[in-house]
A and B are shown apart, each in its own frame.
Chain A
Amino acid sequence: MRIRAWLWAIAMAAMAAFSTYHLVRGEAIQTDLLDMLPATERNPVAEQAIRALAKNVGERAVLLLKAENPEQSKQAALKLAEAMRQTQVFADVTATLPPMDPAQVARFYEPFAPRVAPPPAHLEPSREGLRQHLEGRLASPHGSFSGLGAAADPLGHLEDFLGRLPLMASNLRVEDGLLVIPAEDGLHVMVTAGLKGSAFDPEIQQRSIDAARQAERQTLALYPKLEILRTGVLFYAADAKESAERETNLISTASMVCIFLIFLVVFRSLRHLALGMLGVIGGFVVATAVCLLIYGKLYLLTIVCGSSVMGVSVDYTVHYFAVHLGAGEDWEPFGALKHILPGLWTGLITTLLGYAALLAAPFPGLRQIAVFSIVGLVASFLVVLFLLPDLLPKPMPPQPRFMKAQQWILERGLRLSQNRKAQIGLLVLALAAGLALLRLRSDDAVQSLILPSRSLQAQEAKIHQLTGFSNSGVFLLVEGESEGQVLTREEALRERLGTLPDHGYQAISAFVPSPEKQAAHLKAHQALVPHLPGAMSDVGFRPEVARQTLQRLQDSSARPLTVPAFMDTPFSVPFRMLWLGATSRGMASIVYPTGAADSRLLEKATQGLPGVTVVDKTRSVSNLMGHYRVIASWALLGAIVLVWIALVFVYRWRVGTLILLPSLGGLLLAAAGMALLGVPMTLFSTLALILVLGYGVDYPIFMRAGGRQDPTYFIGVQVASLCTLVSFGLLAFSHTPALQSFGLAVSLGVLASTVLSILALAPMEES
C-alpha cells in the first residue's frame, strides 16, 4: 500500500476513536433547541430575557400527583418527594412548603401602607365622610378576619391592596403544608424539583431523568392507582433525545441493511460490501469528529439527518465498483480510478454546491448539518481516492448474465424514450404535475423542528388547565432608563392589558408601585390628615391610635418602596425572575402572562407604548424560517440557471439542456408529490430541492459517459440512486416533521431524475 493510503487509514481510525469516545460518554449531544435557532430579536435585551427565562423555567421539573383519595394523594406526594430526595441527584425537592408566616407579607407592606394604595376612591375628604367610612369598615362582616387589626389599617386600604396581590395562582391552595389543586376528578398534589444545572446538560439530564423515573416507580409500587402529570424542560429534552436516538438507530440500521442487500445482489462479494461500509462509516466518523472539533456538540437534528448522508456518500465507492465489475480481466485499479475521476469530481462538486447553499443559511443548526454532510462526503470521496485502489488489486470474477440483463434494461429504456406514445404520456404527466403545484402550501412553524411528544403535551395541557399557569413562551419586555421609568411603563402596559379578555399577568409593578403612583397615593392620604383625628375620635378610636396613624403617614413620606427591598423578601422568590435589572441599555423587566397568550393580540393592544416589546420567540423563528424559505426558493431558481449555463458551456446547447432536464423533472415530481400528499413546503423541503438539483445532474452525466454500449455506468447510477433513495426515503418516516418533508422531497426527486436520465440517454447520444 502507498503511504497516503496508510496515512488516511490512520487518520480515520483516530477520528473514529475520538468520536466514539465522545458519543459513548453521551456528552456530545446538544438537546437545547434554543441553541440551534438563530438570534431573532432585533432587541438584544429581548434575547437576554429569553435566555434568562429559559434558564429559570428549564431548571425545574413539576409533577402533579393524584391517587384514589385526597389523603393518599398527599401521602404519595410525600413519598415521591422523599424518594427523589434520596437519590441526591436534585438540588432541591419541594412538596411541603417551608413553614411560612402568613403575616409576613402584611408586615413587609405596613410601613409603606400610604404609598402602595390610595385611600378608597369613594371616600369624601371630610370629617363626616371619613367617619362614615371608618364605621363601615368596622361594621363589615369580615373586618375581624383581616389579621391587620383596626389600629394598623383603619381605612382598610392596605387590606384591599394585600387582598389583590397576585401571590399565588388562584387554583393553588395549601393543605397540610402541601401545595394542592382541588379538581373535579380528585385532589392533585404538586411536587417540584430543581436540577443541579441545565436540563440540557447531558450528564445532569440523564441522571435527573433516571432518578425521577426510579422515584416514580417506587411510589407507584405503593400506590398503584396513582396518576402522575409531568412538565418541565427536563422531561421534554430527555424525551426528544430518546426518540431521536431511536430514530437514528432505526434509520441508520435500516439503510445499512438495504445498502448491504443492494451490494450483495449487484457485486456478490463480501470484500465489496466491507469496502462500501468503509466508505460510508469513514464519512460518518470523520464528519462527527470534525463537527465535534468545531462545535463541541452535535445537535440531535444533525445526527438524524447525518445518518441519511451515508446513502449519498456510498455513491463514489459504487461508481468505482461498477467499473471493477465491468472491467473483467483487464482490471487495473489505478487506471480505473483515473478513468472515472473526472465524473466523480463533477458529481462531488455539484453535490457539495447543493450543501453549500445550506451553509449560507443563518441557522446554526442547518449550518452544522451542512458542515457534517460536506465533510462526510469529502471523507468518503477520499476513501475512494486513497484507499480503494490499494484494497482492490485483483479483478472481479466476470458476471456475463448480470451484465446482459443490465444491457437489456438499458435498451428497453432507450426504446421507450423513442416511443411517441411514451413521449406524449410523459408530457401529459409533466403537465399534470405542473397543475398539482397549484395545491402546494407552505408552513414555516418552528414546531416542525421538534419531535412532538403527544403524551407530554397532553400532560402539560392538563397541568395548564389545573393550575391556570402555562408556559407559552410569549412575554412582554419593558425597558426604561431607571427603575422608576420601568415601573411606570409597566403600569401603563398593565392598564392596556386589562382591556384584553381575562388573562392574568405577573409583573413586579403589582408588588412595587411606580414612584409617581407612590407619590400620588401619599398625597391623597395627606389630604385626609386635617380630618382624620376628629373622625377617628367620633367613631371611638383612642387618641393614641389616631396619633400613630398620623405618625405612620409621616414616616412613610421619607421612605419609598423600592424593587430591591421587595426582592429581599422571601415571598418575592417566584417573581424575582421578572426583574432583569440593569442591561446594556438601562433597566428592564418582564411582564409574564400566566395563561396562553396570543402575541398578535398583545402587539395590537400595546401599540404605541414606549419601551414595551412583545417577545414571541416561536413566532419570530417561524417568520424567519418563512423568510429564508422564500430566499431559498429564489436560490433554487438561480442555481438552476447557473447549472444550466455551466452545462451549456461544457456540453454545448442541446446536450447541456438535456442533462439538466432530468433534474428539473425530479424537482417537478418532488414538489407535485408533496402537493398531492398535502405535505407543506418548508425551508427544509426547499433546501432538499436544491440537493435534488445537485444529485439529479450527476445521473445523466454518468449515463452519457457510459453510453448505450457500456452498462457499467448505468449500474453505478442505479446503485447510487437506489442507496440515496433508501436513506432519504427512510428519513421520510422520521417523526420530526422537518426531516420528514426533507426526506420525502429528496427521495421523490431522486427517483424521478434517475428514471428520466435513462430516458434522456438516447436524445443525448443523437447529437
Chain B
Amino acid sequence: MKPAALLLALSASFLMAQSSVAERLTAHLQTTPRLHVDFVQTRTLAALSRPLKTTGKLVLAREQGVIWQVKKPLNLTYVMGPKGMKEVGADGKARLKTAQDVPMVAQMGRIFQGLLQGRWSVLEEYFTVKGEGTPEQWRILLAAKPQTAAFVKAVDVKGGRFIDRIVVTEASGDTMELRFEKPRPNEPLSDEELRLFRFE
C-alpha cells in the first residue's frame, strides 16, 4: 500500500470513529436521567442593533423531553417531546404543533435534544461530529453537512460533568450563545413541569 493511500485509510477510520469518541467523552450526559439548569442566551444578529439577552431555566428529562422556560425579558415556555412541540405564552395559553402537522418540528426537536443530551450519533445525519478532550473537560465541534448548511453553519459545545456552553453559528453568520449555570441533577420534576410534559 502506498503511504498516501494508507494515510487516507487511516484518516478515514479516524473520522469514522469521531462520533463514537464524542459519545464516549459525554457518555455521562446520556445516563443523567434528569437535569435542571439555568441558562443565559445571547443572540448576536446583524438585524439587531444590540445583542438580545434572555435568561431562563432548562429542564432535561431523558424520557419526557425538554422544557425551555424563558423568564426574562418575557415569560414564555417551550416544551419539546416525542409527540411534537408546545408553546405556552405569557397568557398561559398553550399552542400545540404536532410532528405530524409540522414535519420540521420533529427534526428541530431531534436536533435540539441530541445537542443537550449528547446524542451525537443522532446528529450525524446533519453534522460531521468531532470530539476532543477528556470526560471531565470536553469539546464537541459540529460542522454542517451540505443538506444542513442552508440552515446552520456550525455548533460548538463545551462541558465537563454537565454541559457548559453551546455556540451556534447560523448560515448568515449570526450567532447564538447559550451559557448554562447551576446544574441541579437531583431536583425532582415539579407538578407544573409534569403537567407541561403532558401532550393531549
Could you tell me which A residues sit within 8 Å of B by CB distance?
99, 101-103, 106, 122, 132, 135-136, 138-147, 149-151, 154, 160, 162-164, 166-168, 170, 173-175, 502, 539-542, 545
Contact B176 A132 (CB under 8 A): no
Binary CB contact string for chain B from 7 to 41 against chain A (1 if under 8 A, 0 otherwise): 00000000000000000000000000000000001
Within residues 22 to 71 of chain B, which ones have a CB less than 8 A from any CB in chain A? 41, 43, 45-50, 52, 54, 56, 66, 68, 70
> What chain A residues lie within 8 Å of B147 (beta carbons)?
102, 174
CB-defined contacts of B97 to chain A, threshold 8 Å: 163
**B113, chain A: closest CB distance, angstroms:** 10
Inter-subunit contact B45/A150 (CB<8 Å): yes
Per CB-CB distance, the 3 closest pairs between chain A and chain B, nearest first, are A163-B104, A147-B151, A103-B150
> In chain B, residues 162-182, which have Cβ atoms closer than 8 Å to a Cβ of chain A?
168, 170-172, 174, 176
For B66, B78, B111, the residue with the greatest tally of chain A CB atoms inside 10 Å of its CB is B78
Query: In the complex, A167 Cα to B107 Cα: how many Å?
Result: 14
Contacts of A154 in B (CB 8 A): 47
Find the B residue at minimum CB distance from A107: B150
Known: A149-B172, A175-B125. A143 touches B43 (CB 8 A): yes
- CB proximity of B8 to chain A, nearest CB, Å: 18
| Residue with the highest number of chain B CB atoms closer than 10 Å, among A138, A144, A542 | A144
Chain B nearest CB from A121 CB (Å) reads: 8
Q: Please, how many angstroms separate the alpha-carbon atoms of A257 and B74 in the complex?
A: 91
Q: Does B138 contact A (CB under 8 A)?
A: no
A532 to chain B, nearest CB (A): 14
Instruction: Give the contact stretch, choosing among B88-96, B129-137, B189-197.
Output: B88-96
Choose from A101, A150, A164 the contact partner of B102 (Cβ within 8 Å): A164
Chain B residues, Cβ within 8 Å of A141 = 66, 68, 78, 80, 112
Q: How far is it, in angstroms, between the C-alpha of A502 and the C-alpha of B99 when the chains are bound?
A: 13
CB distance from A506 to the nearest CB of B (A): 14
Chain B residues within an 8 Å CB radius of A168: 103
What's the minimum C-beta distance from A574 to chain B, rounded to whole angstroms?
15
Say yes or no: A540 contacts B48, CB within 8 Å. yes
* Residue in B closest to A174 when the chains form the complex, CB atoms: B147
Asked, given contacts A122-B89, A141-B68, whether A151 binds B78 with beta carbons under 8 Å apart, the answer is: no
For the complex, what is the distance from the CA of A41 to the CA of B28, rounded to whole Å?
65
Measured in the bound complex, the distance between the Cα atoms of B35 and A121 in whole Å is 34
Interface pair B101/A138, CB less than 8 Å apart: no
Q: Which residues of A contact B73 (CB under 8 A)?
A: 135
Task: Determine if B150 and A101 form an interchain contact, defined as CB atoms under 8 angstroms apart.
Answer: yes
Q: Which of A139, A160, A502 has the most CB of B within 10 A?
A: A139
Q: Does B143 contact A (CB under 8 A)?
A: no
Chain A residues near B108: list those with CB within 8 A.
142, 145
Contact, CB under 8 Å: A173 / B151: no
Give CA–CA (A154, B100) in the complex, Å: 25
Closest Cβ of chain B: how far from A73's Cβ, in Å?
15
22 chain-A/chain-B pairs, Cβ below 8 angstroms: A132-B74, A135-B54, A136-B74, A136-B89, A139-B52, A139-B54, A139-B56, A141-B80, A141-B112, A145-B168, A147-B152, A150-B47, A150-B174, A151-B46, A160-B102, A162-B104, A164-B102, A170-B100, A173-B125, A540-B50, A541-B47, A545-B47
Q: Which of B68, B78, B103, B168 is close to A170, meaning CB atoms less than 8 Å apart?
A: B103
State the CA gap A652–B42 with chains docked (Å): 108
- Out of B52, B90, B102, B103, name the residue touching A138 (CB < 8 Å): B52
Q: CB-CB < 8 A to A103: which residues of B?
A: 150-151
B141 beta carbon closer than 8 Å to chain A: no
